[in-house]
């Protein structure tokens, strides 16, 4: 009877040791991998790491912070950066004869800034098209024109383009424009704008 009691005690001791070993192994594994059901309901900062010992790299993504140690990590990716505000207006336009609709080639345009008085010059190409970049710090610009075949009188496009109107109607416009003074408002784009279409027609002599 004493022998059977000793065997039973030894068996219970071995079972207890086995359970203790199993518990230690589970706790060690749990320290490396936490079960999702045991995570508290809160916010986390996630750091993505590879097996290597390289330190994670950080990137600000609008209202987030992303970490990665990937060598292909692109910090200047367009999808994750706010677009930069342009410090210039890109002004372009088509210039043509009100009556004949022919492009006005070789027209010299001078834009004069209200703030600072800076002058920026450009010339139309063979198709009567011009393109110029004007600093936004100039606030607003007046325009001066010079061409050997025109006296500098012009009218901005407004509403239906003159090129889409009949010749008779364009001739009526020509008579009206020649008989009354034409007032021009300075070019004053909004600061949030970057590109401006400023097309106009020239009145032949």
Residue with tokens 């692109």: 74
- Mean pLDDT, rounded, for 75-98: 73
Residues 6+ apart with CB under 8 A from 187: 91, 111, 134, 140, 141, 142, 143, 196, 198
β-bridge partners, 123 = 108
Q: 78 vs 87, which has greater pLDDT?
A: 87
What domains can be seen in the chain, in order of their start residue?
46-83 (no CATH), 88-202 (2.60.40.1120)
Q: Which two tokens stand for residue 157?
A: 């496009």
What residues are paired with 147 via a beta bridge?
150
Q: How many CB atoms are located within 10 Å of the residue 124 CB?
A: 22
pLDDT higher than 80, residue 4: no
pLDDT in the model for residue 128:
97
Across 178-205, average pLDDT: 93
Cα gap 132→120, rounded to integer Å: 8
Q: Which two tokens stand for residue 143?
A: 């325009």
140-174 tens-digit pLDDT: 999 999 999 999 999 999 889 999 999 999 999 99
What backbone torsions phi and psi does residue 119 show, to the nearest 5 degrees? Answer: -110, 130
Cβ burial of 125 (10 Å; 0-12, 13-18, 19+) is middle
Tens digits of residue pLDDT in 110-130: 999 998 889 999 999 999 999
| Amino acid 28: pLDDT | 54
Residue-wise pLDDT tens digits, 32-67: 544 444 545 555 454 445 444 555 454 443 433 333
């Amino acid at each position: 009877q004493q022998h059977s009691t000793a065997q039973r005690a030894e068996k219970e001791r071995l079972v207890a040791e086995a359970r203790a070993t199993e518990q230690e192994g589970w706790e060690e594994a749990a320290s490396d991998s936490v079960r999702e059901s045991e995570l508290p309901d809160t916010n986390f900062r996630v750091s993505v790491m590879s097996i290597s010992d390289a330190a994670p790299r950080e990137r600000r993504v609008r209202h987030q912070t992303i970490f990665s140690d990937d060598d292909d990590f692109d910090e200047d990716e367009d999808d994750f950066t706010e677009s930069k505000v342009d410090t210039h207006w890109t002004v372009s336009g088509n210039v043509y004869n009100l009556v004949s609709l022919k492009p006005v080639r070789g027209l010299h345009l001078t834009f004069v800034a209200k703030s600072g008085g800076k002058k920026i010059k450009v010339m139309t190409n063979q198709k009567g098209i011009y393109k110029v970049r004007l600093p936004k710090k100039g606030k607003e610009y007046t325009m001066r024109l010079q061409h050997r075949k025109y006296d500098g009188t012009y009218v901005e496009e407004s509403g239906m383009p003159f090129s889409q109107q009949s010749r008779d109607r364009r001739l009526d416009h020509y008579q009206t424009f020649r008989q009354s003074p034409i007032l021009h408002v300075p070019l004053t784009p909004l600061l949030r704008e970057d590109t401006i279409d400023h097309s106009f027609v020239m009145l032949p002599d």
